[in-house]
Structure 1
Amino acid sequence: MQQTEKQVPLSINGLLVQKSFLEKFNISIDNFKKSGVEWPKLEKIHADYVRKMQSLLPTLNYVREQLGSAEGVHSIKARLKDPEHLIEKIIRKSIESPEKSISVENYREHVTDLIGIRVLHLFKADWIPIHDFIARQWTLAEQAEAKVRDGDDAEFIAQLEARGCAIKRTRAGYRSVHYLIESNPGKEKFLAEIQVRTLFE
């Protein structure tokens, strides 16, 4: 039986299939060309990340366990980035900034949320002890960023600023604080992105 275009798999023997991949993620051929990224390079990144995913698990588990002991935490969700979503993100980053050359050697520097952890808390004030715990426990790779909405409580925004958070104002969307931390459970340094927000967000 002949296979239709919609049945074409995203990968064959571990190699991504360009046409079906771009269709799935709604990336046009023209936009892909704008990225300047060669498909064989993306296949190498995909294969490298699939091989290395297991090595990220100790960091993910360590950070998750440590955060579980922080005051104010309601629940924690943790994940490793899906390999296909990594490739999608690299393509979109390259479309936005084609001058950046993302390769198998440096993709972990450009895509910093391979390890992603979401910390949920019940009340707005619970953010403070969680923030203080993160600041004590790890080195921040960059300044924490707080996403707030126009019209949010000025006193709460002042608390964010007092603890060194960069404020990013939006008209819509959820409120959250984002941290990029460095963790060294072994000899190698890993980055992990922590997102802190209320359960109701």
Structure 2
Amino acid sequence: MRGTSRDKISRKIVSGTEITKDNFFESVTDLVEVRLLHLSQQDFSEIDSVIRDKVLEGDWVLGERLKAYTSDPENYDYFCKFDLELIKKVNFLH
């Protein structure tokens, strides 16, 4: 289970990040996150397009670069086509 917002802020302070009322939203960019799980890899292109449209239209603001987590090398290659931070996860099932 992920930590609370208070935990996240505490970890940033312990790691040396100075957080003030003036820099709060620049320093703490992960108070809210959206996770998307999709069953079909082909669905991701449309999902990515909708998210980027929302950002371009000003409906959504991203505090950090979009990320994709995968443990499958083929999926990793697929996600390279998109402007994402790719993170390889260890798959404990193999």
Normalised TM-score (structure 2): 0.67
Once residues 165 and 141 of structure 1 are traced to their aligned partners in structure 2, the CA distance between those partners, rounded to angstroms, is 13
Partner SS for 2:48: helix
Output one character per residue of 1:33-70: Cα deviation in whole Å (capped at 9) or x when no partner: xxxxxxxxxxxxxxxxxxxxxxxxxxxxxxxxxxxxxx
Q: Flag the 1:172–1:158 CA change in 2: closer, same or farther, 3 A.
A: closer
1:111 is aligned, of 28, 33, 37, to 28
Matches within 5 A, 1:25-40: none
Q: Is the 8 A contact 2:30 2:63 kept in 1?
A: no
Q: Distance in 2 between matches of 1:91 and 1:130?
A: 33
Pairwise CA RMSD of aligned residues? 2.4
Q: In structure 1, what is the Cα distance between the partners aligned to 2:63 and 2:10?
A: 24
Alpha-carbon distance, 1:148 to partner: 1.6
Among 62, 80, 88, the residue aligned to 1:169: 88
Q: Name which of 109, 122, 127 aligns with 2:44.
A: 127
Shift in Å, 1:141: 4.7
Q: CA deviation at 1:131?
A: 0.7
Deviation string, structure 1 residues 148-171 (Cα, Å, up to 9, x no partner): 21xx142x3222111122221121
Gap change, CA 1:119 and 1:169, over 3 Å in 2: closer
Per-residue deviation, 1:172:
4.1
Q: Runs of 4+ in structure 1 displaced over 4 angstroms?
A: none
What amino acid maps onto 1:113 in structure 2?
Answer: D
Aligned residue for 1:122, secondary structure, equals coil
The one-character-per-residue Cα deviations of 1:70-122 (angstroms, maximum 9, x if unpaired) are xxxxxxxxxxxxxxx22221111222x22x21123222222223333333433
Please report the TM-score for the alignment, with normalisation by the length of structure 1. 0.36
- Structure 1: gaps (5+ residues): 1-84, 174-201
Pairing 1:1-201 to 2, within 5 Å after superposition: 85-95=4-14, 97-98=15-16, 100-139=17-56, 140-149=62-71, 152-154=72-74, 156-172=75-91
CA change 1:110–1:104 in 2 (3 A) is same
Q: Deviations over 1:114-151 (max 9, x none)?
A: 333333433232222101111222145543221121xx
Structure with more contact order per residue of length (Cα contacts < 8 Å, sep ≥ 6): 1
Could you tell me the percent identity over the aligned residues? 27
Larger radius of gyration: 1
Aligned-partner Cα distance in 2 for 1:164–1:111: 22
Higher strand fraction (1 or 2): 1
